[in-house]
């Protein structure tokens, strides 16, 4: 009998192992698919694809475009994918997610979008120093730099502009927020904020990514925090997400939302098993 649920991944991390175990411990049949081994035919029928993947799929690919395009394909065959291809598209592109936050009145740092080296330099001058330059696609803090003065800004902008990368001519320049030396990572499953942590920047790096050595502590989930996080989640279509916030002088600001959230750190501070929450969520929506 075909399993109605499957999970697609391109690397088995701690999180994927936890999800696999949760399926087994919940006694919910599922199938696993390594995206790197897939060959998808354009002419396959809905029935053929659903017999291989089921009708409900958890998308856990680290590669943004690999995961998003596989999700598009499966949705075209009438499969339910969590997170959806549209959610993946918005979350995986800071340009698009920032526009969503602004559209729905979610507080986020002021961001200027520029499309040449000269206009990027003008944008930094308008925001003042320091400012923050980020790639519009990317994770784990890679390529995120603080522009402390005019000389360093000019050099870094010129370096990026002369790169041959797909998005090297698009500049996402953000206001630097006067905040404590930490940010907040929250994990959302459906309509529930299942965990939150403070991430403190290390002595060697101003960025707060766990992958860069940030120290983590439990963060209480207040009513205010919960409301902002769920609003941010809804703005991109909801699902299984990581919403990152900063504590500004006038309250919380959402600065990023993650489509393929890592939750190992947050799990240290939750009474509930996050992998169980994920499995129960996909099991529930697969029965609709």
Whether residues 163 and 184 fall in one domain? no
- Looking up residue 247, the CATH number of its domain turns out to be 3.30.470.20
Whether residues 77 and 151 fall in one domain? no
Under DSSP, is residue 236 helix (H, G, I), strand (E, B) or coil? coil
Report pLDDT digits (tens) over 137-193.
887 667 889 999 999 999 999 988 988 777 889 999 999 998 888 999 999 999 999
Are 94 and 101 in contact, with CB atoms under 8 Å apart? no
**Structure confidence at residue 234 (pLDDT):** 97
pLDDT at 25 over 80: yes
**Structure confidence at residue 1 (pLDDT):** 47
Domain contains 66: yes
Are 239 and 230 in contact, with CB atoms under 8 Å apart? no
Q: Tell me, rounded to whole angstroms, the distance of Cα 77 from its chain centroid.
A: 25
**Structure confidence at residue 108 (pLDDT):** 97
- Looking up residue 24, the CATH number of its domain turns out to be 3.40.50.20
Q: Which of 69, 96, 57 is nearest to 235 (CA)?
A: 96
Whether residues 243 and 186 fall in one domain? yes
Whether residues 147 and 213 fall in one domain? no
Whether residues 22 and 75 fall in one domain? yes
- Looking up residue 154, the CATH number of its domain turns out to be 3.30.1490.20
Whether residues 68 and 9 fall in one domain? yes
Domain contains 49: yes
Using 50, 70 and 90 to split pLDDT, how confident is the model at 3? Answer: confident
Q: Which range marks the domain in which residue 241 is found?
A: 178-271
Domain contains 98: no
Rounded to an integer, the average pLDDT of 95-116 is 97
pLDDT at 82 over 60: yes
Instruction: Indicate the number of domains in the chain.
Output: 3
Mention every residue, 6+ apart, whose C-beta is less than 8 A from residue 168: 160, 161, 162
Q: If you search the block for the tokens 């290390």, which residue do you land on?
A: 202
Give percent of the chain with pLDDT exceeding 90.
Answer: 83
**Structure confidence at residue 210 (pLDDT):** 59
Whether residues 143 and 64 fall in one domain? no
Domain contains 101: no
Domain contains 184: yes
Rounded to an integer, the average pLDDT of 121-143 is 89
Phi-psi map region of 4: left, alpha, beta (phi>0 left; psi -120 to 50 alpha): alpha
The pTM (predicted TM-score) of the whole model is 0.92
Rounded to an integer, the average pLDDT of 109-125 is 96
Q: Which of 105, 36, 24, 110 is nearest to 70 (CA)?
A: 36
Whether residues 198 and 167 fall in one domain? no
Domain contains 156: yes
Under DSSP, is residue 7 helix (H, G, I), strand (E, B) or coil? strand
- Average model confidence (pLDDT) for the chain? 93
Q: How far apart are the first and last CA of the chain?
A: 19
Lowest mean pLDDT among 75-84, 136-145, 204-213: 204-213
pLDDT at 9 over 90: yes
Long-range contacts of 69-72 (CB under 8 A, 24+ apart): 70/8, 70/35, 70/38, 70/40
Looking at 175, 207, 227, which one is the last position of a domain? Answer: 175
Alpha-carbon distance of 286 to 54, in angstroms, equals 10
Alpha-carbon distance of 14 to 227, in angstroms, equals 29
233 sits in which H/E element: helix 223-235
Domain contains 246: yes
Looking at 175, 195, 220, which one is the last position of a domain? Answer: 175
Report pLDDT digits (tens) over 267-288.
999 989 999 999 999 999 998 7
209 sits in which H/E element: none
Report pLDDT digits (tens) over 209-223.
555 567 899 999 999
């Amino acid at each position: 009998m075909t399993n109605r649920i499957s999970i697609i991944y391109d690397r088995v991390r701690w999180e994927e192992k936890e999800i696999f175990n949760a399926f087994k411990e919940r006694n919910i049949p599922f199938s696993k698919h390594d995206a790197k081994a897939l060959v998808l035919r354009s002419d396959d029928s809905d029935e053929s694809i659903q017999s291989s993947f089921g009708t409900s799929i958890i998308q856990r690919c680290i590669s943004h475009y690999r995961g998003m395009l596989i999700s598009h394909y499966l949705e075209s065959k009438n499969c339910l994918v969590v997170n959806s291809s549209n959610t993946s598209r918005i979350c995986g592109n800071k340009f698009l997610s920032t526009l969503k936050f602004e559209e729905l009145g979610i507080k986020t740092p002021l961001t200027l979008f520029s499309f040449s080296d000269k206009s990027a330099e003008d944008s930094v001058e308008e925001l003042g120093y320091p400012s923050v330059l980020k790639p519009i696609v990317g994770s784990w803090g890679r390529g995120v730099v603080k522009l402390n003065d005019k000389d360093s800004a000019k050099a870094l902008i010129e370096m990026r502009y002369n790169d041959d990368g797909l998005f090297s001519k698009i500049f996402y320049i953000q206001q630097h927020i006067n905040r404590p030396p930490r940010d907040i990572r929250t994990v959302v499953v459906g309509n529930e904020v299942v965990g939150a942590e403070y991430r403190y920047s290390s002595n060697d790096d101003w960025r707060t990514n766990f992958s860069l050595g940030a120290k983590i502590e439990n963060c209480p989930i207040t009513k205010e925090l919960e409301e902002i996080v769920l609003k941010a989640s809804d703005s991109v279509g909801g699902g299984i997400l990581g919403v990152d916030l900063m504590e500004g002088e006038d309250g919380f600001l959402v600065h990023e939302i993650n489509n393929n959230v890592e939750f190992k750190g947050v799990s240290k501070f939750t009474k509930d098993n996050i992998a169980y929450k994920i499995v129960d969520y996909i099991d529930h929506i697969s029965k609709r």
